């Protein structure tokens, strides 16, 4: 069957409109000269779910990505179908646009932490300053509508988000449940890792313990073992995927063991329940029941921890070593401690003004904070210029739970949001006067009884793995090279600046 016959079949079997069909035909005609004819499943996946098509005018990313096939294919089989299309897209970029500029590099970018530089390929998500984060074209509200929830829950199940990130497709409930079962089967820690973690001093920071534990999981790395045996480059991604899924599966048990050792010594650690999803097992092992409504939202690639994972992974370090490095970046005070700082600030306000807070008392406290030379924690963002959609999602979650809306700390978060943007605009020293996700996340954890501030970043580290391992898998599938930017001294930068301005 030819390309045209394949696409014509899709038009009638999938019920495509004529305009939609014309766009499909345009994409196929363009790609047809670059990649071999694939089977019907490959083409259907490409046309209905691939990001190439999502960029076409008039095509709704949500409408495409939320199409669920009746496929019972595994995660690995689904990724394998998408790889040739992504490889063809990358080849097209290299062939047609390698010498095309996509922005200027200013001295301020170089000496300002590379902020704003368009210098990194991260295909699973894009952060728009106005709209917020999108995962393969889907906003957070889109994801909440399209992605399966856990049985008995209303929030996105982590496994469905992982599937979306890795494939660009929305999984069926059956595929999601099968992935949950697979991760549960892989979730137990090797006895050597249990012994290692148990031997660490309770006074060692939980994030340090997590980084040590993840690095030690490298002992059983599929990628490292296969690399030492001389595997082909085309096989890199499969072993990276194996390691990545093992890492995601074992993180809850590792993080829960650290929590029990540090904060509840001697308490029994529940076994992994094969009938629970990843987050359900994690919260159960922490001792807070199988709360299906708690999940994390991955971030984009330019932040310090995600970039660290990508950078270390580009050396062909296995996912365990790569993500261990990312965790140590996340442990830095400028990166992963924000929700703790917000919570401390909110509790300090609550202590000073009391539980019966008004907009006026909050406004006074905000000005007191600003006039003391401090920033209002939880407000502002390096990229966003509107309220963080992740914050909005947390607010909606709180509003759906009467027990949360009756919580003094949650009420304070809500009322602060109603006042703070106006105060910050009047103050005039912030580009974004709106809340980010940290403005609420720590307070929600605190309400549920998890009051150990130092542990909050560990939870952050467990959820962030979903996005980081996705990048590692696709970097190997696409054959991305070792990251190696060029560096300059202060004098060299000055000379370049002078020659450029003359």
Catalytic residues: 335, 381, 438
* Among the listed residues 170, 167, 182, the one whose alpha carbon sits nearest the alpha carbon of residue 79: 167
| Strand, helix or coil for residue 240 | helix
Token code pair at residue 11: 């038009």
Residue 496 φ then ψ, to 5°: -60, -40
Task: Give me the residue label for tokens 């766009």.
Answer: 23
Find the helix packing angle between 319-330 and 304-313, rounded to 10°.
Answer: 150
Q: d(Cα 221, Cα 217) in Å, to the nearest integer? A: 7
Chain mean position to CA 256: 20
Using DSSP bridges, classify how beta strands 132-135 and 138-139 pair: parallel, antiparallel or unpaired.
antiparallel
Residue 313 φ then ψ, to 5°: -65, -30
Token code pair at residue 154: 């209303």
Cβ contacts of residue 149 below 8 Å, gap of 6+? 155, 156, 157, 160, 292
Q: d(Cα 77, Cα 75) in Å, to the nearest integer? A: 6
Cβ contacts of residue 89 below 8 Å, gap of 6+? 51, 52
DSSP state of 137: T
| Largest interatomic CA distance in the chain | 74
């Amino acid at each position: 069957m030819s390309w045209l016959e394949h696409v014509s079949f899709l038009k009638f079997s999938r019920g495509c409109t004529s305009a939609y069909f014309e766009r499909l035909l345009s994409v196929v005609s363009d790609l047809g000269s670059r990649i071999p004819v694939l089977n019907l499943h490959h083409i259907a996946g490409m046309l209905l779910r691939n990001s190439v098509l999502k960029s076409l005018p008039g095509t709704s990313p949500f409408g495409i990505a939320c199409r669920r096939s009746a496929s019972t294919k595994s995660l690995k089989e689904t990724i394998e179908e998408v790889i040739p299309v992504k490889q063809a897209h990358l080849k097209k970029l290299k062939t047609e646009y390698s010498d095309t500029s996509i922005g200027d590099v200013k001295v301020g970018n170089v000496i300002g932490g590379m902020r704003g530089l368009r210098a990194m390929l991260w295909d699973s998500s894009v952060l728009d300053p106005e709209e917020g984060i999108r995962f393969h074209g889907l906003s957070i509200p889109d994801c909440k509508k399209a992605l399966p929830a856990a049985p008995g829950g209303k929030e996105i199940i982590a496994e469905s988000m992982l599937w979306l990130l890795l494939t660009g497709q929305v999984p069926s409930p059956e595929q999601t449940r099968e992935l949950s079962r697979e991760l549960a089967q892989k979730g137990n820690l090797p006895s050597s890792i249990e012994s290692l973690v148990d031997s660490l001093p309770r006074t060692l920071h939980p994030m340090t313990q997590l980084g040590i534990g993840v690095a030690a999981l490298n002992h059983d790395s599929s990628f490292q073992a296969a690399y030492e045996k001389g595997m082909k480059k085309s096989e890199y991604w499969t072993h990276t995927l194996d390691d990545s899924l093992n890492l995601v599966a074992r993180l809850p048990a590792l993080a829960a063991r650290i929590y029990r050792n540090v904060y509840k010594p001697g308490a029994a650690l529940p076994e992994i329940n094969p009938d629970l999803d990843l987050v359900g097992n994690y919260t159960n092992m922490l001792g807070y029941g199988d709360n299906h409504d708690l999940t994390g939202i991955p971030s984009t690639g330019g932040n310090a921890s995600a970039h660290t994972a990508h950078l270390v992974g580009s050396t062909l370090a296995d996912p365990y070593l790569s993500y261990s490095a990312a965790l140590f970046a996340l442990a830095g005070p400028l990166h992963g401690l924000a929700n703790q700082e917000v919570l401390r600030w909110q509790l300090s306000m609550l202590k000073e003004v009391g539980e019966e807070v008004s907009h006026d008392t909050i406004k006074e406290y905000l000005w007191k904070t600003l006039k003391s030379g401090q920033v209002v924690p939880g407000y502002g963002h390096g990229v966003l210029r509107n309220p963080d959609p992740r914050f909005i999602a947390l607010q909606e979650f709180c509003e759906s739970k009467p027990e949360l809306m009756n919580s003094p700390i949650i009420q304070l978060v809500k009322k602060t949001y109603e006042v703070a943007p106006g105060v910050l605009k009047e103050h005039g020293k912030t580009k974004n006067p709106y809340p980010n996700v940290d403005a609420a996340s720590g307070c929600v954890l605190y309400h549920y009884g998890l009051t150990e501030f130092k542990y909050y970043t560990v939870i952050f580290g467990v959820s962030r793995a979903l996005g980081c391992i996705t990048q590692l898998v696709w970097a190997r599938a696409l054959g991305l090279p070792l990251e190696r930017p060029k560096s300059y001294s202060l004098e060299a930068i000055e000379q370049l600046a002078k020659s450029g301005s003359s």
